[in-house]
Amino acid sequence: MLKIIEEHGPQNFKTITTDNGSELRALSKSEDTYEHLGVYYAHDYASWGKAPNERHDDILREFIPKGLPLRDLTYKHLKQYTDALNMKPRRTLGYDCPQELYEQKRQEHAARRWLVRHKNQVSASIKTL
């Protein structure tokens, strides 16, 4: 998880919700590193408190049947599943796809960074008009 956050840039994440699985224990150690990032832990035996996680698990089961050892999956399989999941419209996103919204936000962020870096040049160009 931390590798993914670093690859995509911590500024692109607001929260992480975990179901207390051992694979995410490292998050509790890294909360100080990513102070802006809200890390939420679901309560054991309280599925009502982790509905988005449960829904995501249901969507994953469309591709990966329960009981299938994950070690049997290749990187190519996981990439296909991830791409399909990220292109699936979500009600919570106004029926937009997560990938499309992510790309839109990434482009907006890149444009803001460009404007900050080139602020003086843009101001000078506007003044000459």
Query: Residue 99 — left, alpha, or beta (φ > 0 → left; ψ -120 to 50 → alpha)?
Result: alpha
pLDDT digits (tens, 9 = 90+) for 41-83: 777 766 666 677 777 778 888 888 888 887 888 889 888 988 9
pLDDT tens digits along 10-32: 777 877 777 666 656 666 655 56
The answer to whether 39 touches 16, Cβ cutoff 8 Å, is yes
Predicted TM-score (pTM) above 0.85: no
Domain ranges of the chain: 1-45, 47-88, 97-128
Q: Mapping DSSP to helix (H, G, I), strand (E, B) and coil, where does residue 44 land?
A: coil
**Residue 81 Cα distances to 57, 65, 67, 110, 124, angstroms:** 12, 12, 17, 27, 48
